[in-house]
Structure 1
């Protein structure tokens, strides 16, 4: 396991006053299981009821095993674990003490549950003998019952009441977190159980064996039926969802072999090259008219892969998508159940399904991947797709958000990871962000790596937005987890002033660890989606105003470089390569034109307030 030098000072030789345990305890066993799974970091906030686990992490860190990363709030720790899991494909781990530490985690855990992000959540409890006595921060069934709170937003949820239970319950929690549909598993462990020694006769599962899981079985008859439909389809449409990361390159081959076109869900956009000549845009929240028009033209076959058809991903459950022309491919029965009108359901590991289709559709006339796309042609295709080209080209002050997103796409290095926060930031990014990836025949993301060296996982993507639960401030912590997971790729976090005021303190974690994250705050002095939603609905204008804040000065107070961007000229003067290669975060306080309306009509429609 690669040693993180940024964390090295925290794991120097143990001081003389630190007592090493005479034998392995339950907390050691838990950390060893994470080490077997290849987990590098555990995100959390220390506390008395979780102290033995931090002791085990300190010992682990000294020998090169999993290491503790301390968030500023437990909610931020959950978002960091989310970002780490999305970037690596490994399980994200977050921990918290009992009581308020555990309840602070819940929003981040619920977000991971709604977005199928594999996560292990560990919370503490006071000694089990003190249950029911009014112990400090007790959160068992006889206190503030966090077990009941976690139940609706986890795949597995259990209290470890005896040391002997841990191996089995931990194995089950890890299994449930990573099976389809993936999501968080929660174990709550009393502090005395964590300190309990591991007996020599305690059987421990093969945790490393979880890494050797075979892909989900593929329904071969259904795959062959899909191949038959593709042979007869005139011009199929491929819809790329957020579960397609591993299969992105095979999907581009299938698009070409079937002479098809493709669109994406908002959270699937980051797996493709948005300047590909066969790309017709994003369908759903913040999407493009070209994608909606393509589906409205009634193509004879639409193949949707790796999506659960929630509100944002389905265009508000549009009948232009959810009809008898649809074929739905997914490894999760839960997702497949959301398309009852589909012509065909294909269950199986998406990469395996695509590989089978590539083989079945092979023919002597297969050509190489599409040639390089000339930059000018790519820009023309991009401008033809977006709603407001004039705003993209605008040099006015304050900065048009469309101009900001277009500039970031063109000026940031091709391997940059973008993460966009809930609200207007996500809407602008989904619609206008398009990195300058010129190799049109392959998936985007990580393009500067040598051939064959690209690390691609189910969840690896150049753009991440959170669907469904969508908490404000998620991107701020998630950016830290992404940067910890992949030191080779700089990270740009797009967030609003409202979100930053909620969770902006997590930028200090990036500063402490020297992470190359660029925080871009879209500052319009308002909760922008609330403001525009009220205007579009003809509702009362209330509760959207925020104070005028100089976020660059806030960053400076934390020892972080900050810049106020008041005009397009200020934006053009920035050296993004330098900003994204420095050791540590940078903040841009971008004063955007708050009168520009984000592409949020879908949200208004599903709320029933569109006029």
Structure 2
């Protein structure tokens, strides 16, 4: 194979170890450390690097350009570095793969920290790449120096990454990229950070020598003794309730099958709602922030003798403020993460392992068991899925102007096809969506798979994110805006809906421009109430000073059109009929829908007020 020309997209540069570039030069230029980094990312199937370029990472972008011409990795230009991290987050949730983002030195690196911290607290696997001035310039006040002798961004990122290192010599790259990627993709998953001085990026390098794909395969770990103990507990229990958490993505189907086998009702955490069909007859609603009284009631019924919580962090919003209705001696907690399991010390049993493996084994142990649901409160609701005890549910049908947020959520559930991905932003947007947004035509459970692939594929999902995605621990405003762009980049075949507030749009709405440039089908639904809604209602509920929540009237349709997006204003329920949703969902580009909502409607946020100790 020639070694002095760049690979064409259809050239085969693979050897027996995998997709390994065997070139000494690319387009007559030496193979650099930046090319080696890109070669390893190509190996593991990275499609995009989300970021904002700059001088200190120019060699990285040169290597990305060469990869793009080979038909491999593409850059996706964010408008702000935090948006780049949010995009990588959205991409990772949609694909179940590693998200990659980058920033230049100094302010580029400090800008990206919020998005990295969000991924860290929500266990999203990211590789974060930042630049540095050349090594000889360290300590000389070089422009945007962010090493230990300047504004130490490496030190800042140490608090929100699982691996964090400066690559100070070309020979360090391979070991450090292996260490970083293993830490990003192993439990606890999350972001890792590598920082490169610009002269190290430009250093000549050997070609890739290792195949990282097998190394990064998730282990099928499982605590056999604990799993067998759980099977015995289930057999001996009369009434079982299952709590499906945000880390059940790949196993959601087999968990639902397990619930049907053992006759268990189930609830979800706010971040687990997107994995299930709200029409499932065993579903009792959301437990936790913005949840349903029916879910709380399901856990509190005296006859319940076993509660199985799966893939949940047991944080404030996912445990309903560490409620005793969940954290008690009836609880069995199943999770990959020791950190999550440590938050349920009261549980009678902890089952540690990959959730898909645990439930695959449970299915084998309990294959002869099938009993009808006989849960005491099931008989009180013939159609529990359509009669969840929702606060003020009649407002979902209200024709009032301004539009009730409850009505908006009902409309969104009916307007969009079942393949839609919804991302609800921090604040009121999340509260309204978690409580009221429903998609009734979702499949009841995972597609059954026959033949020899059944055992390997049972319960798996193409997307690990579910139909509704939220961020529950570190919850920055505007996360869903960038996250929706990354989601749409990962899957261009489905509509992506970002439910966000006017405050978040004013903070991070510039990423609409990124969706325009990439021709991504993202629908930005803005809840326009001229306020920081959660601040406003929180002050009202706490009888605090009413201060610093008002926003000026803003025409978000004009803002979106100025960036090249389509846009519509909705002021009354009748206006929804004017939307050609088929055309909006087929459009190769973003659309913004500016919805003027009733600003006096209080979202279901009492849990937040209670844990703050301010509910009056």
- Runs of 5+ unmatched residues, structure 2: 1-7, 11-25, 373-381, 449-456
> Alignment partner for residue 426 of structure 1, among 427, 430, 434?
430
Length-normalised TM-score, structure 2: 0.91
Aligned equivalents of 1:365 and 1:173: distance in 2? 44
Shift in Å, 1:206: 2.3
1:89 aligns with 2:93: no
| Counterpart in the other structure of 1:592 | 597
Segment of structure 1 superposing worse, 71-80 or 576-585:
576-585
Who is 2:319 aligned against? 314
Match of 2:288 among 275, 278, 284: 284
- Out of 230, 236, 250, the position equivalent to 1:232 is 236
Tell me what 1:33 maps to. 40
Matched, 1:339 2:326: no
Question: Is this contact kept in 1: 2:83–2:482, CA < 8 A?
Answer: yes
Q: Is the 8 A contact 1:418 1:494 kept in 2?
A: yes
Asked if structure 2 preserves the Cα contact closer than 8 Å seen for 1:399 and 1:592, the reply is yes
Q: What whole-Å deviation, never above 9, does each CA across 1:2-37 have from its counterpart, x for those lacking one?
A: 99xxxxxxxxxxxxxxx9452210000111111101
**In 1, are the aligned partners of 2:261 and 2:371 still within 8 Å (CA)?**
yes
2:475, 2:185 → 1: CA distance? 21
Could you tell me how far apart the structure 1 residues matched to 2:521 and 2:99 are?
20
Match of 1:128 among 126, 135, 140: 135
Cα deviation, residue 365, structure 1: 5.3
Q: Is the CA contact (8 Å cut-off) linking 2:125 and 2:191 kept in structure 1?
A: yes
User: Is the CA contact (8 Å cut-off) linking 1:273 and 1:443 kept in structure 2?
Assistant: no
**Which of 401, 411, 421 is equivalent to 1:397?**
401
CA-CA distance at 1:383 after TM superposition: 4.2
Which range moved further: 575-584 or 497-506? 575-584
Structural mapping, 1:147-296, within 5 Å: 147-199=154-206, 204-215=209-220, 217-296=221-300
Find the counterpart in structure 2 of residue 358 from structure 1. 363
2:60 is aligned with 1:53: yes
3-state DSSP class of the match of 1:304?
A: strand
Q: Give SS of 2:30's match.
A: coil
Judge conservation of contact 1:398–1:566 (CA < 8 Å) in 2.
yes
Following superposition, the deviation at residue 456 of structure 1 comes to 1.8
1:212: Cα distance to partner? Answer: 3.1
Instruction: Please report the TM-score for the alignment, with normalisation by the length of structure 1.
Output: 0.91
C-alpha distance in 2, partners of 1:490/1:443? 21
Deviations along 1:297-353, one digit per CA (max 9) or x if unpaired, are: 242100001011010000001011011110000011111111000000000100111
Asked if the contact 2:557–2:592 (Cα under 8 Å) also holds between the matched residues in 1, the reply is yes
Deviation of 1:361 (Å): 1.1
Measure, in 1, the Cα distance between the counterparts of 2:499 and 2:9.
29
Q: 1:473 to 1:257 in 2, by over 3 A?
A: same
Report the Cα offset of residue 459 of structure 1: 2.8
1:404-483 mapped onto 2 (5 Å cutoff): 404-442=408-446, 456=461, 459-483=464-488
In the TM superposition, what whole-angstrom CA distance separates every residue of 1:98-127 from its partner, at most 9, and x where no partner exists?
A: 000000000000000000000000000000
- Change in 2 beyond 3 A, CA 1:153/1:130: same
Task: Report the alpha carbon displacement of residue 557 of structure 1 after superposing the two structures with TM.
Answer: 1.3
**Structure 1 Cα separation of the partners of residues 546 and 57 of structure 2:** 45
Q: 1:565, 1:591 within 8 Å by CA — same for their partners in 2?
A: yes
Is contact 1:383-1:389 (8 Å) kept? no
Once residues 303 and 336 of structure 1 are traced to their aligned partners in structure 2, the CA distance between those partners, rounded to angstroms, is 13
The alignment status of 1:510 with 2:515, answered yes or no, reads: yes
Distance of 1:365 and 1:236 partners within structure 2: 13
Aligned Cα root-mean-square deviation (Å): 2.1
User: Which sits farther off after the overlay, 55-64 or 204-213?
Assistant: 204-213
> What is the aligned counterpart of 1:548 among 550, 553, 564?
553
- Paired residue secondary structure (1:437): coil
| Matched position secondary structure for 1:120 | strand
Residues in 1 aligned to 2:443 and 2:206: alpha-carbon distance in whole angstroms: 57
The 2-side partners of 1:96 and 1:518 are apart by 27
- 2:453 corresponds in structure 1 to none
Per-residue CA deviations over 1:271-313 (Å, capped at 9, x if unaligned) read 0011211100000001001011111224210000101101000
Matched residue, 1:14: none
CA distance in 1, matches of 2:386, 2:538: 27
* Alignment match, 1:23: 30
The answer on 1:580 being equivalent to 2:590 is no
Cα distance in 2 between the residues matched to 1:490 and 1:174: 30
- Answering whether residue 475 of structure 2 is matched by residue 484 of structure 1, we say no
3-state SS of the aligned residue for 2:527?
strand
